[in-house]
Amino acid sequence: MEEPCLSTQLIDGDGVFNVSGLESFLKEVKLAECGLSYAVVSIMGPQSSGKSTLLNHLFRTNFREMDAFRGRSQTTKGIWMAHAKNIEPCTLVMDLEGTDGRERGEDDTAFEKQSALFALAVSDIVLINMWCHDIGREQAANKPLLKTVFQVMMRLFSPRKTTMLFVIRDKSKTPLENLEPILREDIQKIWDGVPKPHAHKETPLSDFFNVQVVALNSYEEKEELFKEQVSSLRDRFQHSIAPGGLAGDRRGVVPASGFSFSSQHFWKVIKENKDLDLPAHKVMVATVRCEEIGNEKLASFTADEEWQKFEEAVQSDYVPGFGKHISSLLDKCLSEYDMEAIYFDEGVRTSKRQQLESKLLQLVNPAYQSLLGHLRARTLEAFKDSFEKALEKDGFAVAARHSVRIFLEKFDKGSEDATIEQVNWDSSKVRDKLKRDIEAHVVSVRAAKLSELCAGYEGKLTKALAEPVEALLDSASEETWPAIRKLLQRETKAAVSGLESAISTFELDEATEKELLSRLENHGRGVVESKAKEEAARVLIRMKDRFSMLFSRDADSMPRVWTGKEDIKAITKTARSASMKLLSTMAAIRLDEDGDNIDNTLSLALVDAARPGTTDRSIQSLDPLASSSWERVPEERTLISPVQCKSLWRQFKAETEYTVTQAIAAQEANKRNNNWLPPPWALAAMAVLGFNEFMTLLRNPFYLAVMFVIFLVGKALWVQLDIANEFRNGFLPALLSLSTKFVPTIMNILKRLADAGAEPPAPQREMELQPTRNSSNSNVTSAGSSSITSSENGPEYSSPIAQ
């Protein structure tokens, strides 16, 4: 099923623009999707000349056609628009109300001129429908209309290339080759006769219009031939905007999405120029009474109630429409003067009129200046509010430029509204003052925003540096300051990059931007230096904490137990060296990679000087710490001077000496407690003096067996009583503890021996022992003389003989 044709009335017969109808029509046509690929075709010509019929056959539209059986009358009122079917690209067709209609009358030609001018303004192709028999006639073929349109179009609009296709209807036997030159000649004469502005004095017709001519046979008499010719003409509208097409060289095309607004604007401009032929004012000579008339009119204007209301209102606020109303009052006053002085001498009348106008303007000027002052104040306040909101959406520079431009334009519109037609007063001074006030506000807001941004990034940089720097300074090693430099460089680079990106929207000059970034970098260094100074003030506490941690705890961070095997001297040296390293790290700020010898100086003066071998008088006489500054370290980077280092080290050693002394005392006490054996010389004397007794034991095995039994019993008592551990607590405590445990231990051993002897031998064991009883006895005799059993109180020894 064929889709229905879309159409709407664009402008009604009273000249009212159908905005909502056009918007709805364009949405249905989907014109906004076409971009620049669309064309607008319009047709104008005499009433009842078959314009709508031609368009319906040519573009398959549904414009209303005249019913010939009802007589010739107006069919199309106003301007109608439809969508051409099956034409590429998208083509909009406008059907204009016919000219020379009896319905409007002979004198009402304003709408005809306006609609024709509108068609030429918005169309790429304009069809001029004309009768063949009108060619060559002076008052036919729309010649007066074309003349007016040519003149006004150059004044109202910038030149654009429009194709003007003259359609000759009801072609006679005269060939088109003969009719076309006559028609073109008539058009050129009209163009040449139109007064042109200086800019277009020599502009040829071809710069504005591409004139083409086509002829069609009569629709009523030769309908089939007419349809064939129209079908052939329809093919010329396919791809009409392509190079070589009917409108292939068009210029100044409005994008499809702006067609509606553009059309409304064109019609508004055309409507504001109701009388395109501006009438000349005929005036008569003024007489001697012109001055009297002028004074009367000045007094009448001063006493006018409407003027007094405006004069009072502008003292307190801006009054919209001031210029229009005051111009109207002035015009009324001057018009009354003109009416009364119309019969007087022209020279005198004109001179007195100028004097009257000057006096009236002097009376109005204070109110005008007050109005501009209120306009400036209102614009400035509105700018401040709008600028603040614009900053939430756009970058600062973009928002500032846009807001300044918008509100200066608003001021210009307001001052234009206040403009009095009779005089060209200059509002540039007030505008310049407004511009200065706006720029001052922009500068103040920019300063506040930049300050806020810088403060924010300085806060982030402080947070990113403070705690890590404190932790690095607390660890104090050779890599501390390189790590701080790396941290500072990384975090500062990140902060500077963020700030640089943030202030890019401000579009600052290079010097200002560099100053802000440099200030942020200096802030980062300042944070590190401030934190370093704080830590330097607590360096003694940090040194004692480090010494205590390294001295009192082992490599696994476990508390040390001074057993006597530890090298307290080496541990003390290691702990003090680490504390000295902390002091060296905190002695100066090393944010630059300049080398220094603070570490070597402190090591030489504080650690190496304490060695027993360092007795050279030259070294002792030249104290490297007897100075208030470090070598190759500027004073501003010094945190702890050499003299202060020496004093701190002395205080440090004094406060840590007690810890070392306590460790040595604990180690000595532990050694004494563990040394329960007799000294070596006593053991040697016992060996020499007991040699004879030892030989006696060797000669008499019975003694040896008794000694062996005594050894086993003693060994059992040693294990049961845990004598070694008891003596670790001291000699006297060991004796007291052993005296309480000795008798119960003896009784326990005897009880176990008795229980072991009372147990019967296992049957299987007896069967195994019967065949080899003799050998068994020898084995038992040669077996080990003791066995160990366990109990809750510890290991126990028992004799196999008892078993």
* pLDDT at residue 395, as a whole number: 81
Phi-psi label, residue 796: left if phi above 0, alpha if psi -120 to 50, beta otherwise: beta
Strands 7-11 and 79-83: antiparallel
Give residue 90's pLDDT: 93
Compute the radius of gyration of the chain from its Cα atoms.
59
Range 137-143, long-range pairs (CB < 8 A, 24+ positions): 141/183, 141/186, 142/44, 142/45, 142/46, 142/99, 142/116, 143/186, 143/190
pLDDT of residue 1: 47
Helix axes 701-721 and 731-758, enclosed angle (nearest 10) = 110
Q: How far apart are CA 163 and CA 211, in angstroms?
A: 6
Amino acid (1-letter code) at residue 801: I
User: Residue 606 in contact with residue 650, Cβ under 8 Å?
Assistant: no
Region class of 677: left (phi > 0), else alpha (psi between -120 and 50), else beta:
beta
**DSSP SS3 for 788:** strand
What is the spatial distance between Cα 219 and Cα 729, in angstroms, rounded to a whole number? 138
CA separation for the pair 425, 365 (Å, rounded)? 9
Contact 100, 83 (CB under 8 A): no
Q: Three-state SS for 254?
A: coil
Q: Are 487 and 472 a contacting pair, CB within 8 Å?
A: yes
Question: Of 351, 327, 354, whose CA–CA distance to 425 is shortest?
Answer: 327
Go through 8-36 and write b for each residue having 16 or more CB atoms within 10 A of its CB, e for each that does not.
Answer: bbbbeeebebbeebbeebbeebebeebee
C-alpha to C-alpha distance for 1 and 654, rounded to whole angstroms:
110
C-alpha torsion angle, residues 358, 361, 362, 367 (rounded to 10)? 180
At 73, give phi and psi (nearest 5°).
Answer: -155, 175
Per the CB < 8 A criterion, the answer to whether 186 and 274 are in contact is: no
pTM: predicted TM-score of the whole model, two decimal places: 0.44
- Supply φ then ψ for residue 210, to 5 degrees: -110, 100
pLDDT in tens, 305-322: 887 887 777 777 777 777
Q: What is d(CA 451, CA 453) in angstroms, rounded to the nearest whole number?
A: 5
pLDDT number for residue 785:
32
pLDDT the model gives residue 719 = 79
Distance CA 54, CA 39 (A): 18
pLDDT at position 799:
34
> Helices 510-537 and 568-586, interaxial angle, to 10°?
150
Q: Which residues of the chain have pLDDT under 70?
A: 1-3, 66-75, 100-109, 138-142, 144-145, 148-149, 151-160, 252, 254-255, 257-258, 273-290, 340-346, 348, 607-622, 672-679, 697, 728-730, 759-803
